[in-house]
């Protein structure tokens, strides 16, 4: 579920950025009082284009609604009844003149450079509405970073880093966070991954048992590998 929210949050931010760019492009078209009879805007995000085929009733669709509203107002202001505005998908803006220049301007905007508010469309002169998916994504990332920091600073986390410097990896977190697993199963998987599991080879180190032999077959040390792969007593379960 966390991965799903994270992906949705990233996708929502990308679509929002694309729709803001689209709104700016249509605003520039509207400023051309003697514009051409038709205009074409290319965009490389299919999700942003598909938004216009929806009913646009969700709060996250506010930008798409504003794009359609502004385009309609421009069409009414044009004296030519045949005025056409086309949105076209282009993979990576390949072959589009001025694409590199647009990317350069976008990087400057991301660094903090912005146009005067008076030059922007009225809808963009105020803060944008909050996207629920982006909020969830931000919260999940914060919780994940806080948990990683707490884990690294714990005694067990510092000991585990000596064994595996990548802990806690995304693969490990995904394994124990599977919604189909019970809490007990997730706990057992975590114990096996961290090699802190109550098998005799581990308990013997702390004098919790007299022998480190496997009580089921009695032939070898009861290690994790023996327990999972080799013990004949668990052949049926395996």
Q: pLDDT (tens digit, 9 = 90+) per residue, 136-146?
A: 778 888 888 89
Nearest to 22 by CA among 60, 51, 2, 57: 51
Spatial CB neighbours of 182, under 8 Å, sequence gap ≥ 6 = none
Kindly report, residue by residue over 105-136, the tens digit of the pLDDT. Answer: 767 776 777 777 788 888 888 887 777 777 77
Q: Break the chain into its structural domains and give their ranges.
A: 2-133
Average pLDDT across the chain, whole number: 79
pTM across the whole model: 0.52
């Amino acid at each position: 579920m966390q991965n799903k929210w994270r992906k949705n949050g990233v996708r929502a931010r990308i679509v929002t950025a694309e729709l803001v760019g689209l709104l700016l492009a249509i605003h520039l078209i509207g400023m051309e009082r003697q514009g051409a009879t038709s205009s074409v805007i290319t965009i490389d995000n299919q999700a942003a284009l598909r938004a216009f085929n929806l009913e646009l009733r969700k709060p996250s669709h506010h930008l798409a609604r504003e794009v359609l509203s502004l385009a309609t107002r421009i069409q009414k202001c044009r004296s030519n009844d045949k005025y056409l505005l086309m949105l076209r998908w282009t993979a990576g803006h390949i072959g589009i003149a001025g694409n590199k220049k647009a990317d350069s301007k976008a990087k400057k905007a991301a660094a903090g450079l912005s146009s005067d508010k008076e030059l922007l469309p009225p809808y963009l002169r105020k803060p944008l509405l909050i996207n629920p998916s982006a909020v969830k994504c931000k919260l999940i990332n914060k919780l994940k970073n806080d948990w990683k920091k707490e884990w690294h600073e714990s005694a067990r986390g510092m000991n585990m880093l000596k064994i595996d410097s990548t802990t806690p990896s995304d693969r490990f977190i995904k394994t124990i966070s599977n919604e189909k697993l019970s809490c007990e199963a997730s706990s057992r998987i975590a114990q096996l991954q961290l090699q802190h599991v109550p098998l005799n080879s581990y308990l013997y180190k702390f004098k919790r048992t007299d022998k480190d032999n496997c009580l089921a077959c009695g032939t070898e040390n009861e290690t994790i590998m023996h327990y999972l792969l080799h013990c004949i007593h668990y052949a049926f379960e395996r």
